[in-house]
Amino acid sequence: MEGEGCAVTAFVHPLFLYISAMEKPYLALSPEVRAALQAGMPVVALESTIISHGMPYPRNVETALRLEEEVRGHGALPATIAILGGRMKAGLSEAEISYLGKQGPRVTKASRRDLPVLLARGADGATTVAATMAIAQMAGISVFATGGIGGVHRGAAQSMDISADLQELARSSVAVVCAGAKAILGLALTLEYLETHGVPVLGYQTDEFPAFYSRSSGLPVDYRIDTPLEAARIMQAKWGAGLAGGLLITNPVPEAYAMPAGAAETAIAQALAEAERQGIKGKAITPFLLGRIEDLTGGQSLEANIQLVLHNARLGAAVAAAFHMPE
C-alpha cells in the first residue's frame, strides 16, 4: 500500500506543478482584460452560449456587442468568455463574437465537463453559466452578468436533471447577476438546492425571486439589497472570511418588458409538453424550449430576454465598480 501511495503522489503532483509553472497554459486573456485585471480595474464576465445557442443570427451578435457596450458605459470592462481553438479566452474581439454568432449551434455548448475535451482537441465551445464561472475564476474576474441561470428541472425527481450551474455556484467564487433562474425550471427546487450548498440569493431592490420573463415568482430571496455597494460589501465579507463559492444577485426584468406570469407559464407548459413528446432531453432541452416559447409568444419572450440581459449587464458593471472601489 505504501508503494501505491507513492505512485499516486508522483503522478498527481508533477502535473500540478507543471500547470502552476506555466501560468495556466490553456487560458488566454485579451491584452485589454489582462491590463485591467493587473491594474485592479472592474471587469465583468459575459457568457457565449447566449451568442451561439440563445438567439438567431444576426440578433445574437448585435445583442452580444450591445452587452459589451452597456458594461463599458457603466464603468467596467467586458470580458466575453468562450473556447476558441482549444484555448479558454476571456475577452473576445468583434470578429470572434461574429464567428460564434454565425456558427450558431454548430459550436459545442460547453459546460465544465466539456472543457478538458475541447482543450485537448483544439476545438471551439460556447460557454454556459457553469463554464463561464469556472473560467472567470481562473482569470481573476469576480463579477459575471448573464440572463438566467440553469437550475433544477421540472420532473427532476425522476430525471435527476439538475444544471451544473448550481454546483458551480457552490464551487467558484464569482458573483452572478441574473434575472433569476430560467422560468422553464422548478424555481422552488432550485432555491432549495442553492440553500443546501450555501449559496446566498440576493434580490436587487426586490424581496421576491424573479422568474426570468416575469418580475416575481411568489418565492422569497434570502436577502434584499438596494445598492451595488451592498452587493460589493457582501462579496468582500464572504470571500474575506474565507467562505469560498459564489453568490447570486437577482435583478428582475425591467417592468416595461416583463411578461405576465400566467402568459409565460402557458407558453412554457406547451413547450414542455412538445419536448416530452419529441423525446428532447439533455443539452438540447433549453435551446428547444426557449425557441418554442419565442414562437408561442410571438417574439415577446425574446425581447424580454434581450432586455433583461442588458439590464443585468448594467447592474453587473455597477457591482464590479463598487467591488473595486478604493477603501
* Active-site residue list: 47, 182
CA distance 30 to 39: 14
Long-range contact pairs involving 289-293 (C-beta distance under 8 Å, separation at least 24): 289/184, 290/54, 290/182, 290/184, 292/267, 293/184, 293/264, 293/267, 293/268
- Residues 224 and 202: beta-carbon distance below 8 Å: yes
Q: Kindly report the CA angle at 101 between 165 and 106, in degrees rounded to 5?
A: 75
Cβ atoms of residues 275 and 159 within 8 Å: no
Show the cell assigned to 290.
426557449
Contact 244, 235 (CB under 8 A): no
CB 37 within 8 A of CB 43: yes
Q: Which long-range contacts (CB under 8 A, 24 or more apart) does 163-166 make?
A: 163/129, 163/130, 164/111, 164/112, 164/113, 164/128, 164/130, 165/128, 165/129, 165/130, 165/133, 166/190, 166/193, 166/194, 166/197, 166/199
Q: Determine which helix (DSSP H) or strand (DSSP E) holds 224, and give its type and residue range.
A: strand 223-225
51 Rama sector, left if φ>0, alpha if ψ -120 to 50, beta otherwise: alpha
Q: How far apart are CA 103 and CA 238, in angstroms?
A: 39
